[in-house]
């Protein structure tokens, strides 16, 4: 291990090396901190970082392993947390000056599970304002004049610039899949109800989901499997058998996956180079892929999603709006004010469409393992006053289906574009396996 900079290791590789005794957590964390010192002035992925505390966590974990203590699946591996996830030992400010200095009294459920798995909580990454659209300070590590996407800006950019091997974000529209595509890393939005949201900023209870950034399907499976335990504190969760995410995601499919290429009703909104790139990918995959249309109801999904999300934003952030609307961005104020005008009839009518759309998807998934489509309109847009459009993620967030973006394409300017795979709700393990298969198929030429 001495010849390899530990900051370049993926999470699974680093965890295995720590378990085997060929790498210390302290050395891995120090390498990440050195990398942060080297590149983060240009990227600005962090809102809270305490190097001394991170190294202290690592030293405790190293000592425990040295005396024969239990070694967890993420033992000694540093993880970045989006600054909407409560931590009892670090501030959580939710990306707004209205909550500056906020210090939670207890960890979010996912943070407790990370600690039980032996992870090092490296720090808190930049989120957009209250996880909506107004950008934070983070820049795209491939081109600092471009957005990294949002709202999980710092988590995506930090993993992309090798500041940490794993990070957690959240998605209510396109806040994991979009920045993963823009920054050229793997991103995974699990099925709704798989990961506890207790202790996480509430934006829209029917839509919010935590997600992950990493450097491979095996790493995504590793962190997700650690965090899939049932939590009665999240009303959307139900007791379920833990999916074998790692074992399935790292196995070869018994047969080549059947993939449906879906252009979606908003295909004309995608950039020409992005459309050309995914069409080339479809040609490369050959007989494994067949183009299919989505049910016609999907033409209305963006409007239905917007009704639910903005009404919930108004409800969730109304107190903050009343307290300090003059210190909110105009973008967020407008969202809240639109949400306040939505009627209960319109809200419940939109929410009821989720079942209809999922019925249509169930017919499609009876014949296909996954849907292939774009995750974004194209490359990360130039400029830092916007985080780009989430529209190519909206349908899958609304339906609650799992989605993965695989970094296998580029735009005309050499910036990354992901390929988005979507699977049936609850079948996350097979989706991750299909994503790994696709990546291997492309990179093998």
For 408-431, the DSSP string reads EEE-TTS-EEEEEEE--TT-HHHH
Question: What is the DSSP secondary-structure string of 71-114?
Answer: --TTTT-EEEEETTB-BTTB---TT-GGGTT---SS--HHHHHH
Q: What is the pTM of this model?
A: 0.98
Q: Is the residue at 328 inside a domain?
A: no
The one catalytic residue in 175, 196, 204, 389 is 175
Q: Residue 1's pLDDT is what? A: 43
With CA atoms as reference, report the closest residue to 192 among 176, 207, 204. 207
Please give the tally of structural domains in the chain: 1
- CA angle in degrees (0–180, nearest 5) for 228-230-236: 100
pLDDT at 4: 87
| 87 is a domain residue | yes
139 is a catalytic site residue: no
Q: Per the residue annotation, which of 12, 82, 139, 189 is the catalytic one?
A: 82
Rounded to an integer, what distance in angstroms lies between the CA atom of residue 439 and that of residue 102?
Answer: 41
49 lies in some domain: yes
Residue 116, domain extent: 6-249
Task: Answer whether residue 245 is part of any domain.
Answer: yes
Residue 64 annotated in active site? no
Q: Which of 42, 133, 43 is nearest to 80 (CA)?
A: 43
How far is the C-alpha of 445 from the C-alpha of 439, rounded, in Å? 10
CB contact at 8 A, 125 and 213: no
Structural domain includes residue 11: yes
- Whole-number pLDDT of residue 213: 99
Q: For each successive 10 residues of the chain (445 residues), what is the average pLDDT?
A: 84 98 98 98 98 98 97 98 98 98 98 98 98 98 98 98 98 98 98 98 98 98 97 95 96 97 97 98 98 97 98 98 97 98 98 98 97 98 98 98 98 98 98 98 90
For 45, 53, 83, 90, 205, the CA distances from 107, given in Å and listed in that order, are: 22, 16, 12, 9, 19
The active-site residue out of 12, 25, 112, 151 is 151
Relative to beta strand 403-410, strand 186-189 is antiparallel
Does a structural domain hold residue 381? Answer: no
Only one residue has tokens 């940490």, namely: 164
In 219-319, which ranges are E strands? 259-261, 289-291
State how far Cα 284 lies from the chain centre: 27
Query: Is residue 124 annotated as part of the catalytic site, yes or no?
Result: no
Instruction: Read off the CATH number of the domain in which 129 is found.
Output: 3.90.1300.10
CA–CA distance, 85 with 152 (Å, rounded to integer): 11
The answer to whether residue 351 sits within a structural domain is: no
> What count of other Cβ atoms lies within 10 Å of the Cβ of residue 414?
9
Q: What is the pLDDT of residue 324?
A: 97
The answer to whether residue 292 sits within a structural domain is no
């Amino acid at each position: 291990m001495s010849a390899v900079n530990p900051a370049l290791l993926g999470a699974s590789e680093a965890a295995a090396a720590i378990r085997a005794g060929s790498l210390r957590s302290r050395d891995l964390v120090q390498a990440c901190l050195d990398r942060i010192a080297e590149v983060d002035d240009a990227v600005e992925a962090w809102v809270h970082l305490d190097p001394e505390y991170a190294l202290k966590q690592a030293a405790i974990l190293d000592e425990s392993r040295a005396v024969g203590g239990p070694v967890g699946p993420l033992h000694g591996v540093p993880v970045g947390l989006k600054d909407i996830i409560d931590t009892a030992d670090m501030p959580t400010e939710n990306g707004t000056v209205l909550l500056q200095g906020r210090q939670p009294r207890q960890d979010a459920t996912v943070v407790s599970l990370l600690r039980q798995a032996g992870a090092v909580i490296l720090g808190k990454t930049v989120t957009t304002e209250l996880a909506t659209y107004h950008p934070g300070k983070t820049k795209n590590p491939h081109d600092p004049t471009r957005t990294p996407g949002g709202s999980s800006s710092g988590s995506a950019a930090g993993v992309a610039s090798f500041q940490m091997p794993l990070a957690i974000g959240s998605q209510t529209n396109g806040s994991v899949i979009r920045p993963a595509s823009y920054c050229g890393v793997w991103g995974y939005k699990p099925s709704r109800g798989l990961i506890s949201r207790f202790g996480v900023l509430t934006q829209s209870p029917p839509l919010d989901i935590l997600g992950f950034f990493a450097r491979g399907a095996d790493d995504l499976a590793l962190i997700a499997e650690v965090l899939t335990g049932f939590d009665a504190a999240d009303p959307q969760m139900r007791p379920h058998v833990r999916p074998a995410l790692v074992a399935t995601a790292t196995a070869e499919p018994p047969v080549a996956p059947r993939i449906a290429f879906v252009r979606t009703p908003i295909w004309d909104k995608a950039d020409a180079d992005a459309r050309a790139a995914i069409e080339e990918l479809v040609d490369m995959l050959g007989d494994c892929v067949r183009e299919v249309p989505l049910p016609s109801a999907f033409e209305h999904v963006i409007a239905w999603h917007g009704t639910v999300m903005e009404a919930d934003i108004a409800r969730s952030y109304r107190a903050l709006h009343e307290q300090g609307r003059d210190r909110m961005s105009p973008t967020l104020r407008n969202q809240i004010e639109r949400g306040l005008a939505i009627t209960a009839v319109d809200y419940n009518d939109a929410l009821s469409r989720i079942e209809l759309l999922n019925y249509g998807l169930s017919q499609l998934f009876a014949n296909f393992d996954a849907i292939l489509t774009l995750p974004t309109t194209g490359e990360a847009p130039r400029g830092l006053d916007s985080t780009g459009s989430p529209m190519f993620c909206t349908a899958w967030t609304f339906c609650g289906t799992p989605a993965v973006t695989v970094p296998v394409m580029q735009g005309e300017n050499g910036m990354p574009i992901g390929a988005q795979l979507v699977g049936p709700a609850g079948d996350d393990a097979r989706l991750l396996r299909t994503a790994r298969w696709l990546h291997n198929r492309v990179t093998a030429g």
